[in-house]
Structure 1
Amino acid sequence: MTVFYWAMLILIGMVVADFFVPMLPSATLVTAAAGLVFGNPLLIGVLLVGAAVASWLGEFLGYRLFRSLRAGLARRSPRVVRGLVTGTVAKLEALLQRTISDHPYRTTMVARFLPAGRTALAWAAAGTARPPYARMAALGGVLWAAYSVGLGLVIAWIAGPGLQSLVGSVVTVAAVGLFLGWLARRWQRTHPDSVVNTATAAVVLAAQPAPDAALPAPADEPDGAGGSAARAA
């Protein structure tokens, strides 16, 4: 039992850190842990609550950090902020912020299950006026914990607890992630006007760095012949 609680502390730390380092396999760890405690309702409950609380804590801490960072940058160097969020990036951020303002909980439900979605969501929400982010993070944490623990229990029920369940968890989480990505892209093609599609596209693209070619030169620093003409005028 003592080993389990120490393992829970490590797992909680991993789930919190996963917000800042999205490549950490927090979902795989929670799913595998669910298989290892299969058949023990008390430990399953502790795992479920711990995963949900850790997810909420990571997202809320990240949100507060992003809010302070954005406020500090805007106060000290507005030009730096405009340089960071310009062109394609600015459009994506504005799109995501609009979906957060209009449909915060739907957007959360989409973002929480996409790669780096929780980080992109928190960054955009930090630039939105008073979003209900504590409740958004709580909803995302509960849904994600229920999904991860439930998936681990199903795998353990099919394959049996132990090493088989552990291997099955790793393979299944990877497969489900690929499937969700494919499903999101398919939904985007077949429902072009959907709110969920808009949130999905915004989160997916906002989580990825835009190519330099897609970023136009700032309006106050024209380039080329047009810039020369402007300076001459």
Structure 2
Amino acid sequence: MDLMSSPWAYLVIVLVALADALAPVVPSETVVITAAVLAASGPTSVPLVVLTAAVGAMLGDHLSYLVGRTTSRWTAGRDSAGRRARTLRRAGSVLAGRGGMALVVARYVPGGRTAVTLAMGALRHPLARFTGWDAIAASSWAGYCTVIGVVGGSALAEDPLPAVLLGMTTALVIAAMAEVWRQVHRRRPRGSGVPTTAAP
């Protein structure tokens, strides 16, 4: 607890949020929530908690993306027609249309972050698009955990299960809203808004 109330807390937040990308058992949410609890009434800064959590999350996501991208060549060469290749093709069809939103939603699902970032790397998802959506995902997650800590206080820091359940609910709501938006956008007529009629 003394460490989390010192300037070293920011480095701890970055490292834990980074490590969580490859080892989902690392309690990144608990660390950020605890730091936010202390920042609300202590020497640490709430904006810096958000910033360092987002930076650590983005670094970890890009590391996971790089691992997926690096190992995909080996996987493709060894299993070009097998189950792994078929799984990647199915994932590719999903991520082609929903890759960015899947990255945001997966941020709130335990273990989902690792699976999606590895898959996007393995499928050679464009790095620029990945970075843009990941900035949204990491920032929203960092802000969410910080608000939970500031509002919920030490109770959620000691027992993070309600925060995890709330995060999963948030993920479902985001996914539902994104799907509704996608369906509406897909059905919207293309071209100019006012139809023209032929002269008699």
Q: Tell me if both proteins adopt one fold, taking TM over 0.5 as the criterion.
A: yes
Partner Cα separation in structure 1 for residue 146 and residue 13 of structure 2: 13
Q: Retained in 2: the 8 A contact 1:99–1:195?
A: no
Q: 1:105 aligns with which of 90, 93, 100?
A: 100
Deviations 1:201-222 (A, max 9, x none): xxxxxxxxxxxxxxxxxxxxxx
The change in CA–CA distance for 1:176 and 1:22 in structure 2 (over 3 A counts) is same
Matched, 1:169 2:157: yes
Does structure 1 retain, via aligned residues, the 8 Å contact 2:39–2:46? yes
Q: What amino acid maps onto 1:101 in structure 2? A: A
Q: What does residue 127 of structure 1 align with? A: 122
SS at match of 1:21: coil
Contact 1:97-1:127 within 8 A present in 2 as well: no
Q: CA deviation at 1:184?
A: 6.8
Runs of 5+ unmatched residues, structure 2 = 181-200
The answer to whether the Cα contact below 8 Å between 2:109 and 2:168 also exists between their aligned partners in 1 is yes
Q: 1:170 to 1:82 in 2, by over 3 A?
A: farther
Separation of aligned partners in 1, 2:60 and 2:174: 29
- Alignment partner of 2:148 out of 142, 146, 151: 151
The one-letter code sitting in structure 1 at the alignment partner of 2:102 is T
* 1:150 Cα deviation after fit: 0.8
- Asked whether the equivalents of residues 108 and 170 of structure 2 are also in contact (C-alpha less than 8 Å), the reply is no
CA offsets per residue over residues 67-112 of structure 1, 9 Å max, x none? 01112443xxx234655616xxx34x43432232212322122111
TM-score (norm 2): 0.73
Q: How does 1:16-95 map to 2 (within 5 A)?
A: 16-39=18-41, 43-74=45-76, 78-80=77-79, 82-83=81-82, 85=84, 90-91=86-87, 93-95=88-90
TM-score, length-scaled by structure 1 = 0.64
Contact 2:13–2:32 (Cα < 8 Å) also in 1: yes
- Following TM superposition, by how much is the alpha carbon of 1:135 offset from its aligned partner in structure 2, in angstroms? 1.3
Deviation at 1:5, TM superposition (A): 1.9
Q: Secondary structure at the match of 2:40?
A: coil
Q: Is the 8 A contact 2:21 2:60 kept in 1?
A: yes
| Shift in alpha-carbon separation, 1:80–1:94, aligned structure 2, 3 A | closer
Deviations 1:6-63 (CA, angstroms, capped at 9, x unpaired): 1221221111011111011100110111001104697111111000010001001110
Q: Which amino acid aligns with 2:144?
A: Y
Alignment-derived partner of residue 197 in structure 2:
none
RMSD: 3.0
In the other structure, the counterpart of 1:178 is 165
Instruction: In structure 1, list runs of 5 or more residues that go unmatched.
Output: 157-164, 197-233
Matched, 1:114 2:113: no
Identity of aligned residues (%): 26
